[in-house]
Structure 1
Amino acid sequence: MATPVNIIVGSHVWVEDPDEAWIDGQVTKITGKDAQIQTTNGKTVTEKLSKIYPKDLEAPPGGVDDMTKLSYLHEPGVLQNLKTRYELNEIYTYTGNILIAINPFQRLPHIYGSHMMQQYKGAPFGELSPHVFAVADVAYRFLAMINESKSNSILVSGESGAGKTETTKMLMRYLAFLGGRVATEGRTVEQQVLESNPVLEAFGNAKTVRNNNSSRFGKFVEIQFDKHGRISGAAIRTYLLERSRVCQVSDPERNYHCFYLLCAAPAEEVEKYKLGKPQSYHYLNQSRCYELVGVSDSHDYLATRRAMDIVGISEKEQEAIFRVVAAILHLGNIVFAKGKEVDSSVLKDDQAKFHLNTTAELLMCDVKALEDALCKRVMVTPEEVIKRSLDPQSATVSRDGLAKTLYSRLFDWLVDKINNSIGQDPNSNFLIGVLDIYGFESFKANSFEQFCINFTNEKLQQHFNQHVFKMEQEEYTKEKINWSYIEFVDNQDVLDLIEKKPGGIVALLDEAWYNIVL
């Protein structure tokens, strides 16, 4: 990754360190292709010359605000620059026209106020300190160009817990500031778009090991503009909701926020849905984490209801939404025992019957039909309809499958409802898209969801490589500019392994599934 430099005895370099990732030091001896380095933490290490990188001794003490200004653009140099700036509370740094943000894990309201928005409005990119508002401003000015108006998207990517969701909110707030209009009748489009965030977070976010408010779905927001540069419509598209979380939660994570919000609702609401404490429900008590530090679920419940009002979800629809949420909690407490017949199941006890009756009441369906749907499998043939009993384990799988389907359908309905309420502008030719997607994940036990999430992130990384490294360097070659090749990790081989036909993993999975179905 570095510009080739002649490393000699006395050179200041970076060398890999098991504890610090990279540590700086000075070369004391070179033998063939190996170098001996005296590090600043007092160690003497020997490393191959090809694995050490020169240290920039002329770098300013406060770091540089654009990584392209670094003398050596390599991993240790980049990380050191980011660390230096972060210690000075500078959480944003440019790399050309790309913005790197480091999660401060605290609120910094002074850098996101209206006075800051006013400063960045129309300011040339790079003139002011790096900021998320500057990126949004450039995207907006592309729309406003008289002869070259064109739509574009802002991609927000990074590891889980990096702060992507909060960054997306800031982008949308700034775009609403630039393209908003005075409300003359009812709520404006931009108000509804911004207020859709707490609703989607309540039903699509959850606490994970690394993040108390982790998005468990991907979101692409299209903000449409008219020819005057004002917001005229919007659409929200969601991807890959983590359905498995509804039924299976690892300690110390939580299920989706909405379950805890409803359990903390006012007493009359809780009684209406026959709910108790979160600890009472199987879908919540697999983890011992029920509350979040510094967060009031009862307050957030009321805030979510207010946000639902703003985005156009009626009182009757809100009641129906929380009926489904409560029904899923009761559904998870329906436990099965062995029936008298072979491979059959029945409700285990009176408690299971109570939860079955409550689920049926909340879903407004027939109790017997619901019990049959859980305890029996129906197979339709051209000649007849065959009902086959399920053993307790299979009935539990059937119960969890129903819960996951109910929740994912509810989430999809919510997104459709928000989109219909906001409204799209069929005459708009210009839009700015903001993509907020899962960060890269690696747990002790990884499911198919993690496979899909990480594959998506690898595709985004390839897009980054294509535009930042490949196309730029091809342009240099074409223009015959004198430059040194920048090495980078090309993940195309990983993508080919997963998606290339006919031998990729996905193609092989499809083939195996097709054979099973046949």
Structure 2
Amino acid sequence: MATSSIEYEGSDLGVGDFVLLSEITKEAFVQNLKLRFEKGRIYTYIGEVLVSVNPYRELSIYGHEYITSYKGCEMFERPAHIFAIAEAAYRTLKQRSTNSCIVISGESGSGKTEASKIILRYIAAVTNISNQAEIQRISNILIQTNVILETFGNSRTNRNDNSSRFGKYMDLNFDYKFDPIGGKIQHYLLEKSRVVKQQLGERNFHAFYQLLSNKNSRQNYGLLLKPEDYYYINQGQCCKIDRIDDKKDHEQVTEAFNTVGFTQDEISTIWKIIASIIHLGNLTFTDVDGEHCAIVQTNDQNDPLEWISKLLECEQTDISSALTLRVVAARNEVFQARQNVTRAYYGRDALSK
């Protein structure tokens, strides 16, 4: 789609702002949205709100010529586009010297994560032309931070191969010339339950499968079984997805770690924790006398308890005690009580989360 084509919006492309619909009904709304989508227009306004439909394919509407077309323009001077929203927020920041905010919401798979990346690229492109290298560096760090967050907070669901399982608030900081000088990303409401339980057809977080895609990591962290043999990552029975290249993604997150500034010790510690969680999922318990239990050890190179002990640098007895005993406080007295099998599995899952 050429730049000139987006300048033109005739009646054959539907109504570019739902406020201007002659008939405000659900049927008219959906029909207009469908018509515009079929014509390659994935963006439509509702006043100052932008409705976006995920095309699930690459579109050539985010290049330099489009950025130039929207830079410095009022929101309704150009057809509906996410660049117009980004420009409006940035212009408000400059003109009023006050904070500006863009809220991106939608169901899983609607394109929220990609929208935030597009806004970042636009801001980086229209600010401080004379010092683009520094702006690009800051923008790249924020984008690479997103790569890390997606690795440990995104997973494959039945509706989306890269579904964010957490909320995110991104802060961009500007100097007195209104050029970006840094940023901060806050995350919240991570779906921790996914670590220990997934529905059929869904996967655990990407990090687990990326680790298992690296042969050296598997040897170093004792992950010698097939991915399908690890309980925590195969409950959805889809360890391997053709559309997801875990090996390539692992290389990208390694690069992102280095770009953001993680040390090699920090990176190694992170992957050790991920490997420990995988081993924890294969830790099993046996009943002793109906009320007490013990950890089952295989006494071979795949023994989960031995590898958890190595990776977390803890004594096996300490790990065993933490999972098979519980601390009870009663009447100013603290003592340890043994766990049954059911409670031990609850404790294992709680530790993993």
Give me the TM-score of the superposition, normalised by structure 1: 0.63
Residues 355 and 209 of structure 1: CA distance in aligned 2, closer, same or farther (over 3 Å):
same
Residues 307 and 361 of structure 1: CA distance in aligned 2, closer, same or farther (over 3 Å):
same
The one-character-per-residue Cα deviations of 1:58-77 (angstroms, maximum 9, x if unpaired) are: x9332111112211222111
Pairing partner for 1:82 from 27, 30, 33: 33
Farther-moved stretch of structure 1 (249-258 vs 74-83): 74-83
Check conservation: 1:187, 1:310, Cα contact below 8 A.
no
SS at match of 2:86: helix
What is the deviation of 1:95?
Answer: 1.1
The one-character-per-residue Cα deviations of 1:201-253 (angstroms, maximum 9, x if unpaired) are: 00000011111000000000010111101012211111100000000011100
Pairing partner for 1:174 from 100, 116, 122: 122
The residue aligned with 1:486 is none
Does 2:146 match 1:207? no
What is the deviation of 1:295?
Answer: 2.3
Pairing partner for 2:337 from 388, 409, 414: 388
The residue aligned with 1:62 is 13
Query: Based on CA coordinates, which of the two structures has the bigger radius of gyration?
Result: 1
The residue aligned with 2:49 is 98
Does 2:312 match 1:372? no
What is the deviation of 1:349?
Answer: 4.3
The residue aligned with 2:350 is 401
The residue type paired with residue 293 of structure 2 is S
The residue type paired with residue 200 of structure 1 is L
Does 2:285 match 1:346? no
SS at match of 1:153: coil
Pairing partner for 1:283 from 232, 242, 246: 232
Aligned mates of 1:380, 1:218 — CA distance in 2: 36
Check conservation: 1:179, 1:225, Cα contact below 8 A.
no
The one-character-per-residue Cα deviations of 1:168-196 (angstroms, maximum 9, x if unpaired) are: 11112212223364336x98322211111
Pairing partner for 1:358 from 299, 307, 318: 307
Pairing partner for 2:81 from 120, 127, 131: 131
Check conservation: 1:216, 1:241, Cα contact below 8 A.
yes
| Structure 1: runs of 5+ lacking an equivalent | 1-58, 405-518
The residue aligned with 1:193 is 142
Check conservation: 1:120, 1:128, Cα contact below 8 A.
yes
| Structure 2: runs of 5+ lacking an equivalent | 1-9
What is the root-mean-square deviation of aligned Cα atoms in Å? 1.9
Percent of aligned pairs with the same amino acid: 36
The residue type paired with residue 123 of structure 2 is L
Aligned mates of 1:178, 1:334 — CA distance in 2: 53
Aligned mates of 1:116, 1:166 — CA distance in 2: 17
Pairing partner for 1:163 from 104, 111, 122: 111
The residue type paired with residue 229 of structure 1 is F
What is the deviation of 1:294?
Answer: 2.6
The residue type paired with residue 375 of structure 1 is T
Question: Aligned residues, how many?
Answer: 340
What is the deviation of 1:166?
Answer: 1.1
The residue aligned with 2:99 is 151
Aligned mates of 1:182, 1:173 — CA distance in 2: 12
Q: Tell me which stretches of 4 or more aligned residues in structure 1 moved more than 6 Å.
A: none
Check conservation: 2:124, 2:136, Cα contact below 8 A.
no
The one-character-per-residue Cα deviations of 1:284-335 (angstroms, maximum 9, x if unpaired) are: 1111111223321101101000011111111111011000000000011000
The residue aligned with 1:119 is 69
Aligned mates of 2:136, 2:124 — CA distance in 1: 13
Does 2:216 match 1:268? yes
List aligned pairs for 1:287-302, cutoff 5 A: 287-302=236-251
Check conservation: 1:142, 1:150, Cα contact below 8 A.
yes
Greater relative contact order (Cα < 8 A, sep 6+):
1
Aligned mates of 1:65, 1:187 — CA distance in 2: 33
What is the deviation of 1:351?
Answer: 6.5
The residue aligned with 1:469 is none
Pairing partner for 2:170 from 221, 224, 243: 221
Farther-moved stretch of structure 1 (343-352 vs 386-395): 343-352
SS at match of 1:350: coil
Give me the TM-score of the superposition, normalised by structure 2: 0.92
Aligned mates of 1:136, 1:194 — CA distance in 2: 16
